[in-house]
């Protein structure tokens, strides 16, 4: 019984595959591009120059200073 179900599904799979491939091909062949010169250009994102970004600001290196000694006032240096 299992083999019979397999063999009955093969024609259905062939029909489904034919429709999956055939319908898009039929649409392409039926309605080709009207102006092929216009479709052979590069996409707009490739034609436009990338925006210029400003260089990131340089961060200064932190320094170690003993300005607070744990008391209420500033430490004497």
> What confidence tier does 72 reach under pLDDT thresholds 50, 70, 90?
low
Contact assessment for residue 68 and residue 75, using Cβ atoms and an 8 Å cutoff: yes
pLDDT tens for 13-40 read 999 999 999 999 998 888 876 666 666 6
- CA-to-CA distance for 74 and 67, rounded, in angstroms? 6
* Token pair 């595959």 in the structure block, residue: 17
Q: Is 22 helix (H, G, I), strand (E, B) or coil?
A: helix
Read off the tokens for 1. Answer: 């019984």
pLDDT at 12: 93
């Amino acid at each position: 019984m299992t083999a019979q179900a397999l063999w009955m599904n093969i024609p259905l799979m062939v029909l489904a595959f034919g429709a999956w491939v055939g319908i898009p091909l039929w649409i392409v062949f039926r309605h080709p591009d009207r102006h092929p010169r216009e479709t052979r250009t590069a996409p707009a994102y490739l034609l436009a120059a990338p925006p210029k970004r400003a260089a990131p600001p340089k961060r200064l290196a932190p320094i170690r200073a003993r300005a607070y000694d744990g008391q209420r006032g500033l430490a004497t240096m």
